[in-house]
Structure 1
Amino acid sequence: MASSSSSNMDPDVAWSLFEEGATLVLLGVPQGTELGIDCKSWQVGPRFRGVKMIPPGLHFLHYCSVNSPSCGGEIGPKTGLFLTLKPREILLANWDPKEEDLDFSASRNEEEVNRIRGTLRELDPFLGPYPYEVMRKWVSLTDHISEKLASDLQPLTGRICAFSDVVPELQFRHTKDRAEQPRNDTACQSMKEGLDRLPKMKHREGTELRFSVIPKKTYPPGATPAEITKCSMDLSYALEGVLEKKYENQPLNLLGELQFAFVCFLIGNVYEGFEHWKSLLALLCRSEEAMRRRKELYLGLITVLYHQLGEVPPDFFVDIVSQNNFLTSTLQDFFQFATGPGVDGILQKKAEKFKTHLTKKFRWDFDADLDDCAPVVVELPEGVTVD
């Protein structure tokens, strides 16, 4: 880890971070490990002992273990965790080679932490400075995530892993149990049959991300056909249900969950984070009635999306199979609702400005009829083939 990122820093900022910044002391991390904090990562060198001058607040520490060159030097899946650091705090961790993970239990030993604090001057040459140049970006991606929210959404294990730790839903401890399962020694007649034969898997207890559950039924119990149709087109009933269950008094925390899911995917490589981000976004963008009643939530959503979409390439959301852009169709609904009757004028103007920005930056056309963009099926005369 080089220390060049501090050389371009304003001297007053550098001094403030030197005096008030937190320090991560990470001992025994193997050389070659890919380790990062927030939006920046490095390969650990032989002298690395941690990161200094970290601005107080929320951060995302992430790392991938690397095999020794003799074993091919392969990089393992990424592990990450959210940390909230206080001014001048020292957080101490030791690398556990067996688990290939950081063990923070030493931070609970006050005597050990005080000993490290007393040797910080000697440790200083081995500590890389926080990459201050990414601070503005990091804050813009996480400004709605509080310490409590991060703690509530993180797995109980405290680790966010790129590869899910899964176990079979049914544990076949006895021969009799296994014998009653579908046999796998005959050929499958269909894809469905093949999938049905696979054991059903679930997350190992404590390892799952604790996101809000987005209801599959978007209408109230006992709804009439007309109400079902209305609630399927305007998802406000489902959105209000999610808010009531988890964020009744703090609806902006839902934007924090949207940011949390995005960071898990963007930096933590967690695909589940991307899927949840898409589901939450669809719920928010297709809730017409909620837009009329929750001005602050939707003003915040536009700002959150502005910063998030600045981090992904234009063709990122295009389905490679159908060439359908999930985001274009979702935002098309959003802009239609956000500029409709009864929506606050400030929100309408901000939505129009955002639409113009996206059209210019990504060349997305939100005014086109999506049906007009579908592939044209050409009927060929009988006997004519295309090579």
Structure 2
Amino acid sequence: MASYTSHEEKDFEKFLQCKGAALVLLNVPVHTEIGIDMHSWTIGPKFKGINLIPPGLHFINYSAVSKYGETAPATGFFHYFEPNDVLVKVYQPATEEFKDESPEQTERVKINLQSLRGELGPYPSELWRRWVSLTQKIDRRHLESVLPLSEKQMRSTAKRLINEGLPELVPVAGLDFRWYELPERTHKAGATPAYITAVCIDPTPILDDLIRHLGK
């Protein structure tokens, strides 16, 4: 993938300064792992969130860390950031989850956002092109159709330890993706023997038909 030229980098930085979104995370314990898209950090005491986020679809994930240094399974959610959007979440220690802040507090944060700039880490813009290449075909409608019904976040739990002490993560009922069921038959009714043979060798046409069906 081609890298930015210095001119493109400057233009992109100017764009984010004018239109970049912000994710404000309140009351987050020190050492919590926070990630956006394909990057994550172990946060310090001054962390209040992420700014200069390019508008569009992003995935935010987090893992609580116990006082003994044990990291919990990750929880995450998707969010479409509009230009200059400010998303405010507050951490709930009892459930180790982020919840939406009240509308009143969110508005106060937006008004005073400039005072938080020093405590907001910049979005890792060097990863943006790669992230867009992975997500540019996902629109809001398709995303909403597969997200959990009960909450708009995904969560898994450690069922048991497997090889080398790693946990086997099992989706929590109601908090996993609602996957589409793939058709049992790999060809259309009335398909010719030549077509059936062809899709057994290369099932790309079946995938194309499925994508067209899901897009309706």
Please say which structure displays the higher CA radius of gyration. Answer: 1
Name the one with the larger helix percent: 1
Residue of 136, 140, 145 corresponding to 2:133: 140
Determine whether 1:22 maps to 2:18. Answer: no
**Over residues 321-369 of structure 1, what are the superposed CA-to-partner deviations in whole Å (9 max), with x where a residue is unaligned?**
xxxxxxxxxxxxxxxxxxxxxxxxxxxxxxxxxxxxxxxxxxxxxxxxx
The separation in 1 between residues aligned to 2:77 and 2:171, in whole angstroms, is 21
Query: C-alpha root-mean-square deviation of aligned residues, in Å?
Result: 3.0
Q: 2:176 is paired with a residue of what secondary structure?
A: coil
The separation in 1 between residues aligned to 2:49 and 2:171, in whole angstroms, is 35
Structure 1 length-normalised TM: 0.45
Determine whether 1:88 maps to 2:84. Answer: yes
C-alpha distance 202-101 of structure 1, shift in aligned 2 (>3 A): closer
Q: 1:45 is paired with a residue of what secondary structure?
A: coil
The separation in 2 between residues aligned to 1:128 and 1:97, in whole angstroms, is 22
Task: State the 1:56 CA deviation.
Answer: 1.0
**Over residues 196-230 of structure 1, what are the superposed CA-to-partner deviations in whole Å (9 max), with x where a residue is unaligned?**
xxxxx9962x3231232222332456889x58963
C-alpha distance 239-21 of structure 1, shift in aligned 2 (>3 A): closer
Task: State the 1:234 CA deviation.
Answer: 5.2
- 2:215 matched to which residue of 1? 247
Structure 2 length-normalised TM: 0.78
How is 1:306-317 mapped onto 2 (pairs within 5 angstroms)?
none
Question: Where does the alignment leave 5 or more consecutive residues of structure 2 unmatched?
Answer: 1-7, 160-169
The separation in 1 between residues aligned to 2:112 and 2:121, in whole angstroms, is 16
How is 1:149-168 mapped onto 2 (pairs within 5 angstroms)?
149-156=142-149, 157-163=151-157
Q: 1:41 is paired with a residue of what secondary structure?
A: strand
- 2:73 matched to which residue of 1? 77
The separation in 2 between residues aligned to 1:40 and 1:23, in whole angstroms, is 16
Quote the sequence identity (%): 35
How is 1:188-337 mapped onto 2 (pairs within 5 angstroms)?
204=173, 206-220=174-188, 230=197, 232-233=200-201, 235=203, 238-239=206-207, 242-243=210-211, 245-248=213-216
- 1:65 matched to which residue of 2? 64
Letter paired with 2:137: H
Letter paired with 2:94: K
C-alpha distance 164-151 of structure 1, shift in aligned 2 (>3 A): farther
Determine whether 1:127 maps to 2:111. Answer: no
**Structure 1 ranges of 4+ moved more than 6 A:** none
How is 1:87-126 mapped onto 2 (pairs within 5 angstroms)?
87-106=83-102, 109=103, 111-126=104-119
Letter paired with 1:123: L
Task: State the 1:113 CA deviation.
Answer: 2.2
Q: Larger relative contact order (C-alpha < 8 A, sep ≥ 6)?
A: 2
C-alpha distance 26-207 of structure 1, shift in aligned 2 (>3 A): same
Task: State the 1:129 CA deviation.
Answer: 1.2
Tell me if the contact between 1:23 and 1:89 (Cα under 8 Å) persists in the aligned partners: yes
Letter paired with 2:181: V
Name the one with the larger strand percent: 2
Determine whether 1:46 maps to 2:45. Answer: yes
Aligned length: 197
The separation in 2 between residues aligned to 1:233 and 1:241, in whole angstroms, is 16
Question: Where does the alignment leave 5 or more consecutive residues of structure 1 unmatched?
Answer: 1-8, 166-200, 249-387
Task: State the 1:51 CA deviation.
Answer: 0.8
- 1:332 matched to which residue of 2? none
Task: State the 1:115 CA deviation.
Answer: 1.0
Tell me if the contact between 2:155 and 2:172 (Cα under 8 Å) persists in the aligned partners: no
Q: 1:150 is paired with a residue of what secondary structure?
A: helix
Q: 1:98 is paired with a residue of what secondary structure?
A: coil
Q: 2:115 is paired with a residue of what secondary structure?
A: helix
